[in-house]
Amino acid sequence: MRVRYAETDQMGVVYYSNYFVWFEVARTDLLRHEGCSYKDMEADGFSLPVVEAHCDYKQSARYDEDVEIRTSGVLLSPVRVRFEYEVVRPADTAVLAEGHTVHAVLDKSGKPRRLPDRIRELFA
């Protein structure tokens, strides 16, 4: 992922809330890579709203840099999942940030719903 100009602020670095946008891109890519797109999950009546988000910032990402987001998923319970993220700058392998998000698994009516087995297998 390459840092967009729009993502910088006047400090000359990436504005802190944008890391959470990157986290979303990373977890979506992880799900898609596992054959389970979030778009299809929504079409099947699932949603994964964020109930907790956290990020520790180590070094600043800058405009036009390549950054890589390493992501993994953990099943906390049948109706709750956690994704962990590491933002790395491949140029020098520096870890720029680490974070996590926790998501409820809900059905269309907003009630907790167990993830299908197929998807649960994706999580450690």
Residues marked as catalytic: 9
- Residue 8 interacting with a copy of itself (CB under 8 A): yes
Q: Is 10 in the site for a copy of itself (CB under 8 A)?
A: yes
Among 36, 47, 79, 107, binds a copy of itself (CB under 8 A): 47
**Closest CA relative to residue 75, chosen from 25, 30, 123:** 123
DSSP per-residue string spanning 89-117 = ETTTTEEEEEEEEEEE-B-TTS-B-PPPH
- Shortest Cβ 80–a copy of itself spacing (Å): 13
Of 46, 63, 73, 107, which lies in the binding site for a copy of itself, with binding defined by CB under 8 A?
Answer: 63
Are residues 85 and 30 in contact, defined by beta-carbon separation less than 8 angstroms?
no
The burial of 96, by beta-carbon neighbours within 10 Å (0-12 exposed, 13-18 middle, 19 or more buried), is given as: buried
Q: Which of 35, 45, 51, 114 binds a copy of itself (CB under 8 A)?
A: 51
Smaller CB separation from a copy of itself, 71 or 101 = 101
Residue 91 makes contact with a copy of itself by CB under 8 A: no
